[in-house]
Amino acid sequence: MVRVLGSAVLIGAVILVAGRPLLPAQVVGFVSIVALFFHAVRGIGRAEAVIFLLLCLAVTFIIENIGVATGVPFGSYEFRVAPNLPHVGEIPIIVGPLYFGMGYCAWVIACIILNRWGIRPDDRFSLFALPVTAAFAMVQWDVVMDPPNATLWRAWVWHKGGGFFGVPLTNFLGWFLTVWLYFQLYACVVWKRAAGVASPRSRAFWLFPILLYLASGLCHVLPWLMDADLRLADGGDRVWSAQDLRESTVIVMLFTMLPTGLMAILRLYDRAHLPRQPEA
């Protein structure tokens, strides 16, 4: 009961404060990442949770640093968030753990949608299908959160702006490449490993990362309803309406992250849908 109550409080806090990247959102984000790591330890095993974390951090910090230095693959941009935090190269240290937290949620969602209840690939199809599906779920989050964080809050800025409220298409292509790569590496590493968890977890257990994924999209509703309109200039000096940006963020969330999360929940609680048995 305590664990359920704590999960509900955390999910509610994400919805209430994570839409504005201020100190309360940073605290809630840190707590969420820690909670998701311990969920991964219980769900996929300690060794595989650490493998997932290390691959995620290595790939994302390497590619993000290349991106800042060269503009490839995300476009020409720079981070302005958390200048007083430690950095890995040019990247604030919080960036890697955020990739891990949402990446784990996206991986769980992909496994449930594709009926891999071991939360890992179990045949050649899922070896490649899981990373691609998880990458799309992960990039949906980026499509939702990038315009408000970049153009409204200036946590990071594209020097030449971009067509999606100051964010260029190259950013989303770069995100897909980055997250697909660490999902694919993880899938290849764990495919032939013995499972780290002796028995499957309950449906309710897997609900937590799905709800956190949904909460990270729903958190943009309150700013849209409550915050004042402003005129914003992106890095390319194009002017946007803050209210248009917020409304577009909510529209995109309602038809990307929300259906993806709901699809995973429906699959999770489909009593007629038996867990798939691994192939010999």
pLDDT band at 2 (very low <50, low <70, confident <90, very high): confident
Average of per-residue pLDDT across 252-270 = 96
The pLDDT value given to residue 156 = 94
Among candidate residues 178, 135, 171, the one with its CA nearest the CA of residue 150: 171
Task: Check if the beta carbon of residue 96 is closer than 8 Å to that of residue 30.
Answer: no
Residues 6+ apart with CB under 8 A from 162: 75, 168, 169, 170, 171, 234, 236
Average of per-residue pLDDT across 267-279 = 65
Q: Is the pLDDT of residue 206 over 80?
A: yes
The pLDDT value given to residue 280 = 34
How far from the centroid of its chain's Cα atoms is residue 116's Cα? 20
Record the pTM. 0.95
Between residues 231 and 4, the one the model is more confident about = 231
Tell me the pLDDT tens digit for each residue of 53-100.
Answer: 999 999 999 999 999 999 999 999 999 987 888 999 999 999 999 999
Helices (H), the chain: 2-17, 23-44, 46-70, 95-113, 124-147, 169-190, 203-218, 221-226, 242-254, 257-268
* Cα(205)–Cα(238) distance, integer angstroms: 45
pLDDT band at 278 (very low <50, low <70, confident <90, very high): very low
What value, to the nearest 5°, has the Cα angle with vertex 165 and ends 160 and 168? 45
* Cα(17)–Cα(23) distance, integer angstroms: 9
The pLDDT value given to residue 277 = 43
* Cα(32)–Cα(23) distance, integer angstroms: 14
- The HSE-up count of residue 255 (CA atoms within 13 Å, CB side) is 5
- The HSE-up count of residue 279 (CA atoms within 13 Å, CB side) is 9
Tell me the pLDDT tens digit for each residue of 124-171.
Answer: 999 999 999 999 999 999 999 999 999 999 999 999 999 999 999 999
The pLDDT value given to residue 1 = 74
